[in-house]
């Protein structure tokens, strides 16, 4: 819940810390937490971490296209343009 509050405050760095803890507590198996974590990483411009989380979610939930469309593609494109 704290991650959601920090995300609403646009404090994506703190939100990503909270979601990262939740992600680990869920043994990296929650698509919802993974989505939120990847989103916060994207907002913090941590593109490699965002891609890693997206790929972990898609490996377990290949029918979860929202993460691929909304985060993975943006992170990959941003990563390519910043180098």
- Per-residue pLDDT tens over the stretch 14-55: 999 999 999 999 999 999 999 999 999 999 999 999 999 999
Residue 70 has pLDDT above 90, yes or no: yes
Residue among 11, 39, 9 nearest 23 (CA): 39
pTM beyond 0.85, yes or no: yes
CB 51 within 8 A of CB 75: yes
pLDDT at residue 83, as a whole number: 59
């Amino acid at each position: 819940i704290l991650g959601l509050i920090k995300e609403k405050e646009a404090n994506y760095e703190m939100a990503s810390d909270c979601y990262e803890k939740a992600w680990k507590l869920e043994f990296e198996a929650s698509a919802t937490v993974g989505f939120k974590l990847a989103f916060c990483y994207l907002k913090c411009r941590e593109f490699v971490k965002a891609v890693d989380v997206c790929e972990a979610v898609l490996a377990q939930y290949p029918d979860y296209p929202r993460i691929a469309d909304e985060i993975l593609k943006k992170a990959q494109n941003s990563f390519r343009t910043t180098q």
